[in-house]
A and B are shown apart, each in its own frame.
Chain A
Amino acid sequence: MTNTDESAGPISKMTMIEAIRSAHHVMMERDASVVAFGEDAGAFGGVFRCTEGLQERFGEARCFDTPISELGIVGTAIGMALNGMRPVAEIQFADYMYPGYDQIVSEAARMRFRSAGDFTSPIVVRMPVGGGIYGGNTHSQSPEALFTHVAGLVTMIPSNPYDAKGMLISAIEANDPVIFLEPKRVYNGPFDGDHDKPLVPWSKDPRGEVPEGYYKVPIGKAAIARRGDEVTVLTYGTMVHVAMNAAEITGVDAEIIDLRTLLPLDLEAITTSVRRTGRCVIVHEATRTSGFGAELSAQVQEECFYSLEAPIVRVAGWDTPYPYSQEWEYFPGPQRVADGMLQALKG
């Protein structure tokens, strides 16, 4: 957590929004080929304000509004990347991504392969994911498995401001297309699943202490959010904080692994922990069937079968569209995660 690189500059308290904005700012300052755009991303600074101030600072050529066309946003981003730019494209909500999915899957992800390295598509496509804001079925989805199933994409999802900035800088510098998922419920604080409590702001959390300058959190490296001996919890995004809460509720000494990059996956971090604890709970907001948890479960089984003392437990969204008024009955909150941990302990 602590930044050891002094060149990263003084530390500021930042929300995840401010950290993402700071990553843009640092990279646009360092590299004239970095451009940021999306629906309302220009003067308005994006509906979540992640690009606020960039147009004012870097001009309309480098931070601009786009027509409402996710296909156009991703397609033109690929074209810009083909012409030496490093585009950072914002999709307003992950739920709106589907019209651009063909460009992501058939084009960005395959450009290097299909041209034998003759062309590449180093784009970053950012999009807010997950529930918790009464967004119903069109503003709450967690489509990570639709990206992790695609060869050629890197898929990342931070859980806190420090990681968000360092990971986004790594994503912008990567020479592969990166899908950068932003769990919108933790934009302003480490939401732990208790929606009735006032939100703890990032300013009161050490992970909200973010260097103002340039630093990177590497692609493909998980973090241990909580050390523990009894059970390994594999999770990411908002659910990292919900799992921390569940560990507190139950008193279970859980080791909570924040995967951070889903593909390529840090399998070593996973297997090291599961082999030690012998138990594994997988937690995500996305629907359960064919969710990313299915892949995690398969890999843990393949790698750690003889260390497992109990069946792997999955806590995930129900296999339904995301509801509106029943949000907090639907959301896989701390009690469901706690139950999952206890189930893994019982075996």
Chain B
Amino acid sequence: MTVADLQSAGEARRPAIDVLAPEIMDMAFGLIRVLDDEGNPHGPWIGDLGVDELVEILTTMFTTRAFDARMMKAQRQGKTSFSMGSRGEEAIGAVTATVMGAHDMCFPTYRQASYLLGRGRDPLAMMNQVYGNAADENLGTQISGLYTSSEFGFLSISGNLATQMPQAVGWAMAAKIKGDPTVALAFVGDGSTAESDMHAALTFASTYTPPVIVAIVNNQYAISTDEEVARGSAQTFAQRGIGYGLPSLRVDGNDVLAVHGATSWARDRALAGHGPTVIEFVTYRGSAHSSSDDPTRYRPEDEFDEFPLGDPIKRLRLYLQNRGFSNDQANALDEQIRNMIEAKNEEAEAIGTINTGERPSLRHTFELVYETMPPHLIRQRQEAGI
């Protein structure tokens, strides 16, 4: 199956939250869509998002796109080592950030900046991390873009793929043991579903049925390879969940209302004690994998423009116009956000970049290995002259 085999907006049914996996097996092969090409909502997944909430989501998406573009520019200017954007997939993080509760926990990949921004993280703090400057709250220990924020329920991003998946399941198992009304949201890319961690995560999710949402972001590419390399003979990634007996949905990831509806449904299920849900969000990686690759070598340059699910920002703007938030208002918001990002970037650069200004002390490198620095590290720190 390809994204070309689309269900039309409004066609997918909305099952009860206590549904059993075998009853909705077809939904792993379909596609939940709410917004049609004219920005009109259809069907049982419409939900009740108000204009203010939608504008808040649009704000996060604009912020993410401007932030990503500015950080990529900074990388090209040699001010940071590395940059990874999420152009085209901003809706998934921006929307799920509004669905999850204050004490829920997100287990992200490196392409969920929109989740962190949507939760309220200051872009300046993220820029300081990207630049590894003296104000970096990560104290220079982690590479550019692999943020952490316990404050906003966002696990430290690992550079190793899919390792967060069994951790999310374990976090949710703990929630279930403690009786906490909280849910884990675990993101994984289409390519990384091939890691053994994914099988372990789904097996444990299946065995212990903890409150976890397993969100597979299918953005069509794993660096240079097409999603089918990891998908193999399966028709969809959502299909993976069926073998584990988990209700599995396939969702238009560029449709704000579909993402909101499906994630809310899965979270309600989890909170009601009905266990995990697997969701495949279908989207498109509009950016390069990272600042280190050249996508023109493996895909047509205009492919994003041709993507049948479109650009999530354009689609939300169109819908908002139908709800009375005009194109001019959206343009003004976008410009205001770009200016905000530019101003914050100036502030961050003034503090320092990877090669200008002060850096966090190397002492943190020694201090952050154990709770208490053991004798051999004290000696090595002294040897390092600090």
Contacts and interface: CB of A to CB of B under 8 A. Distances in A.
A112 B177 contact: no
Most-contacted residue by chain B among A62, A79, A220, A264 (CB, 10 A):
A79
Contact of A79 (B139, B173, B180): B173
The residue in A62, A103, A174 that gathers the most chain B C-beta atoms within 10 A of its C-beta is A103
A114 B170 contact: no
A223 interface: no
A78 B204 CA distance: 13
Contacts of B175: 83
Contact of A80 (B150, B170, B375): B170
B138 A116 contact: yes
Nearest to A107: B163
For the complex of A and B, the 8 pairs showing the least CB-CB separation, nearest first, are A79-B170, A75-B166, A76-B170, A264-B374, A72-B200, A115-B156, A83-B174, A79-B167
Interface string A65-96: 01101011011111111111101000000000
A116 B168 contact: no
A175 B371 contact: yes
A84 B174 contact: yes
A106 interface: yes
A117 interface: yes
A146 B192 CA distance: 26
A102 interface: yes
12 contacts: A67-B203, A67-B207, A72-B169, A75-B201, A79-B174, A80-B170, A80-B173, A82-B167, A106-B163, A107-B167, A114-B142, A116-B141
A40 interface: no
A217 B158 CA distance: 34
Nearest to B200: A72
A151 interface: yes
Q: Majority SS of interface residues in chain B?
A: helix
B365 to A, nearest CB: 8
B146 interface: yes
B156 A79 contact: no
B36 interface: no
A178 B376 CA distance: 17
A117 B365 CA distance: 11
A35 interface: yes
Interface in A251-276: 263-265, 267-268
Q: Choose among B149, B156, B168, B169 the residue with the greatest number of A CB atoms under 10 Å from its CB.
A: B156
A100 B41 CA distance: 46
Interface in B296-342: none
A263 B203 CA distance: 33
Given A75-B201, A82-B171, A114 B163 contact: no
Given A80-B173, A115-B142, A220 B196 contact: no
A142 B178 CA distance: 36
A259 to B, nearest CB: 14
Interface of A: 35, 61-62, 66-67, 69, 71-72, 74-85, 87, 99, 102-103, 106-107, 111-120, 151-152, 154, 174-176, 220, 263-265, 267-268
B382 interface: no
Contact of B370 (A69, A71, A75, A176): A176
Contacts of A79: 166-174, 184
Interface in B369-385: 369-371, 374-376
Contacts of A67: 203-204, 207
Given A67-B207, A69-B200, A79-B167, A118 B160 contact: no
B148 interface: yes
Contacts of B196: 71, 99
Contacts of A82: 105, 155, 167, 170-171, 174
Given A67-B204, A76-B204, A79-B173, A119 B369 contact: no
Nearest to A175: B371
Interface in B323-370: 364-365, 368-370
A102 B207 CA distance: 22
A87 B172 CA distance: 14
Contacts of A103: 163, 166, 197
Interface string B45-82: 00000000000000000000000000000000000000
Contact of A116 (B105, B137, B199, B371): B137
Contacts, number: 152
Interface residues of B, number: 48
A154 B376 CA distance: 13
Interface of B: 105, 137-139, 141-142, 146, 148-150, 155-156, 158, 160, 163, 165-178, 180, 184, 196-197, 199-201, 203-204, 207, 364-365, 368-371, 374-376
Nearest to A113: B368
A115 B154 CA distance: 11
A107 B160 contact: yes
A81 B375 CA distance: 26
Contacts of B369: 112-113, 151-152
Given A82-B155, A112-B370, A113-B368, 16 more contacts: A67-B203, A67-B207, A71-B200, A72-B169, A79-B173, A79-B184, A82-B174, A85-B177, A102-B197, A114-B146, A114-B148, A114-B156, A115-B138, A115-B148, A118-B138, A152-B370
A178 to B, nearest CB: 11
A175 B167 CA distance: 17
B371 A72 contact: no
B177 A61 contact: yes
A76 B156 contact: no
Interface centre among B141, B174, B365 (most CB of A within 10 A): B174
Nearest to B168: A79
A236 B365 CA distance: 30
Contacts of B139: 116
B167 A75 contact: yes
Contacts of A175: 371
A54 to B, nearest CB: 14
B137 to A, nearest CB: 7
Contacts of A117: 368
B150 A119 contact: yes
Contacts of A72: 166, 169, 200-201, 203-204
Contacts of A113: 141, 365, 368-369
Contacts of A87: 170
Given A67-B207, A71-B197, A116 B364 contact: yes
Given A76-B170, A79-B170, A119 B155 contact: yes
Contacts of A264: 370, 374-376
